[in-house]
Amino acid sequence: MNYRLRSWNVNGFRAIQKKGFWDWLNSSDSDLVGLQEIKADPSQLREDERNPAGWDVFWNPARSKKGYSGTAILSKIPPLSVRFGLADESYCGEGRTVCVEFEEFYLYNIYFPNGGMGDDRLQYKLGFYDAFLEDAEELRKKKPIVVCGDFNTAHKPIDLARPKDNEKTTGFLPIERAWIDKLVAHGYLDTLRMFDQEPALYTWWSYRTAARVRNVGWRIDYFFVSEELRDNVKAAWIDSDVMGSDHCPLGIELEF
């Protein structure tokens, strides 16, 4: 069994549809796509947008604030189970998590919080990180874990164009990066770095400074897999030429 999985922060599902999303999806050869920052409720969409032909779709819009955050999974392979949110319900109101179960693994699609807008949000982000890891480690007792999405943190200096300039910027703070170290220490693998150690591989570029044209970006979107899946990961990549959002899609291929 092969799975081609993709992840994309679309920065607004209704907006991305006007920028070639369906053409991209239908030509992407994906079995599953995790979307983050959908900023929409299914009730705001047409039936063919909400339930596109050939896909099972699982929506988790933000309940606490309309037009904010939100995640969705589109899958050609019917999952065994679907779960929204984390075990710690204090981190569930913003629609940030969809978890689906397949025969061989669990997959989390997550839009991790941004640490900006003050210390309260930074602490919320760090708490969310820990709540996710606790949740994943519990499920991992049953089968391996895949997690994709916008982590809102660049892990290492190689993962952003200007590390020195951003040492005190949320998204590259030592405390945020230390949590990704913690994830790795728990036996989770950064799939892209299994295949490519090159710099300048980014997934997000600021709209404000024409950063994408100059490739002044950050790698803040990831696929991590638990160590048990190391030999099942056959490829990992970034689709940096796909436009439509301030993020680009990324993907992995798993073989069982």
Please, which contacts does 140-143 make with residues 24 or more away whose CB atoms are closer than 8 Å? 140/106, 140/226, 142/106, 143/101, 143/104, 143/105, 143/106
Residue from 111, 124, 188, 222 carrying the catalytic annotation:
111
Output the CA–CA distances (angstroms, integers) from residue 134 to 98, 141, 248, in the order listed: 16, 11, 28
pLDDT score of 110: 98
Identify whether 108 is a catalytic site residue: no
* Binding-site residues from annotation: 9, 37, 150, 152, 246-247
> For 224, how many CA atoms within 13 A lie in the half-sphere containing its CB?
25
Active-site choice (155, 202, 221, 247): 247
186 flagged as catalytic: no
Residue 254: the pLDDT is 98
* Annotated binding residues for Mg(2+): 9, 37, 150, 152, 246-247
Q: Dihedral angle at the C-alpha atoms of 241, 242, 248, 251, nearest 10 degrees?
A: -90
Which of 31, 150, 159, 190 is an active site residue?
A: 150
Condensed to tens digits (0 to 9), the pLDDT of residues 50-102 reads: 999 999 999 999 998 888 999 999 999 999 999 999 999 999 999 999 999 99
The yes-or-no answer on residue 247 being catalytic is yes
The pLDDT, as a whole number, for residue 117 is: 79
In this prediction, residues 201-215 reach a mean pLDDT of 95
Provide the token pair at 159.
């993962």
Averaged pLDDT of the chain: 97
**DSSP classification of residue 127:** H
DSSP 210-237: THHHHT-EE--EEEEEEGGGGGGEEEEE
Confidence at residue 172, expressed as pLDDT on a 0 to 100 scale = 98
Above 90 in pLDDT, residue 196?
A: yes
pLDDT at 65: 86
At residue 118, does pLDDT exceed 90?
no
Taking the C-alpha atoms of residue 51 and residue 59, their distance in angstroms, rounded to an integer, is 10
User: Distance (Å, rounded) from C-alpha 53 to C-alpha 94?
Assistant: 27
Tell me the torsion sign for CA atoms 64, 66, 68, 70: positive
**% of residues, the chain, pLDDT over 90:** 96
Pick the CATH number of 2-255 from 3.40.50.360, 3.40.309.10, 3.60.10.10, 3.30.70.890: 3.60.10.10
